[in-house]
Amino acid sequence: MAPERSQETVTLTNGSLNSNGHYVEPLMKHPLPDIDRPYTYEVIEQSSRFLLERTKHRPRIGIICGSGLGGLAELLKEKDVFPYEEIPNFPASTVPGHAGRMVIGLLEDVPVICMQGRFHCYEGYALWKCAMPVRVMKLTGVTHIIVTNAAGGLNPAYNVGDIMLLKDHINMQGFAGDSPLKGRNDERFGPRFPAMNNSYDQRLRQLAKQVAKDIGIDQYIREGVYVMLGGPAYETVAELRLLRMLGVDAVGMSTVPEVMVARHCGMTVFAFSLITNECITDYDAQGEANHEEVIETANKRQNDLNLFVTRVVSSMASEMTSANGKNGSVDEN
Ligand SMILES: O=P(O)(O)O[C@H]1O[C@H](CO)[C@@H](O)[C@H]1O
Ligand SMILES: Nc1nc2[nH]cnc2c(=O)[nH]1
In this structure, are 11 and 48 located in the same domain? Answer: no
| Closest C-alpha among 52, 162, 39, 31 to residue 102 | 52
In a domain, 333, yes or no: no
Q: How many domains does the chain have?
A: 2
Measured CA to CA, the distance from residue 161 to residue 300 in angstroms comes to 8
Measured CA to CA, the distance from residue 197 to residue 195 in angstroms comes to 6
Q: Are 223 and 247 in contact (CB under 8 A)?
A: no
* Of 149, 227, 276, 288, best ligand 1 pocket probe by most atoms within 8 Å of the beta carbon: 149
Q: Any idea what the Cα angle at residue 135 is, between residues 129 and 141, rounded to 5°? A: 160
Identify the weakest region by mean pLDDT among 19-28, 86-95, 99-108, 179-188: 19-28
Question: Residue 29's domain spans which residues?
Answer: 6-33
In a domain, 110, yes or no: yes
**Whose atoms come closest to the Cα of 166: which ligand?**
1
| Closest C-alpha among 164, 154, 171 to residue 243 | 154
pLDDT digits (tens, 9 = 90+) for 128-139: 999 999 999 999
What does the mean pLDDT of the chain come to?
90
Phi, psi of 260 (to 5 degrees): -65, -45
In a domain, 332, yes or no: no
In this structure, are 111 and 224 located in the same domain? Answer: yes
3-state SS class at 180: coil
Q: What is the largest CA-CA distance in the chain?
A: 81
Measured CA to CA, the distance from residue 45 to residue 70 in angstroms comes to 25
What CATH number is attached to the domain comprising 159?
3.40.50.1580
In this structure, are 247 and 293 located in the same domain? Answer: yes
In this structure, are 26 and 90 located in the same domain? Answer: no
pLDDT category at 2 given cuts 50, 70, 90 is very low
Cβ-based neighbours of 206, under 8 Å, separated by 6 or more: none
Mean pLDDT over 242-262 rounds to 98
In this structure, are 82 and 27 located in the same domain? Answer: no
**Residue 124: what residue type?**
G
Mean pLDDT over 237-258 rounds to 98
Establish whether 260 is a catalytic residue. Answer: no
In this structure, are 161 and 21 located in the same domain? Answer: no
Mean pLDDT over 50-67 rounds to 97
In a domain, 27, yes or no: yes
pLDDT category at 24 given cuts 50, 70, 90 is low
Q: Are 190 and 134 in contact (CB under 8 A)?
A: no
In this structure, are 27 and 165 located in the same domain? Answer: no
Q: What is the pTM of this model?
A: 0.89
In this structure, are 50 and 162 located in the same domain? Answer: yes
In a domain, 330, yes or no: no
Sign, Cα dihedral of 119, 229, 166, 175? negative
In a domain, 218, yes or no: yes
Q: Are 179 and 260 in contact (CB under 8 A)?
A: yes
Does the pLDDT of residue 36 top 70, yes or no? no
Mean pLDDT over 227-250 rounds to 97
Give the active site residue among 48, 199, 277, 329: 277
Q: Are 87 and 102 in contact (CB under 8 A)?
A: yes
Residues facing 147 on adjacent strands: 64, 271
Name residues contacting ligand 2 (CB within 6 A): 150-152, 229, 231, 234-235, 251-253, 276-277, 279, 289, 294
In this structure, are 17 and 43 located in the same domain? Answer: no
In this structure, are 281 and 309 located in the same domain? Answer: yes
pLDDT digits (tens, 9 = 90+) for 294-330: 999 999 999 999 999 999 999 999 999 887 765 555 5
pLDDT category at 7 given cuts 50, 70, 90 is very low
Can you give 74-142 as a three-state secondary structure string?
HHCEEEEEEEHHHCCCCCCCCCCCCCCEEEEEEECCEEEEEEECCCCHHHCCCHHHHCHHHHHHHHHCC
In this structure, are 25 and 68 located in the same domain? Answer: no
Establish whether 98 is a catalytic residue. Answer: yes
In a domain, 1, yes or no: no
In this structure, are 27 and 59 located in the same domain? Answer: no
In a domain, 331, yes or no: no
Does the pLDDT of residue 34 top 80, yes or no? no
| Closest C-alpha among 27, 5, 26 to residue 14 | 26
Q: Are 90 and 43 in contact (CB under 8 A)?
A: no
Does the pLDDT of residue 16 top 50, yes or no? yes
Q: Are 151 and 252 in contact (CB under 8 A)?
A: yes
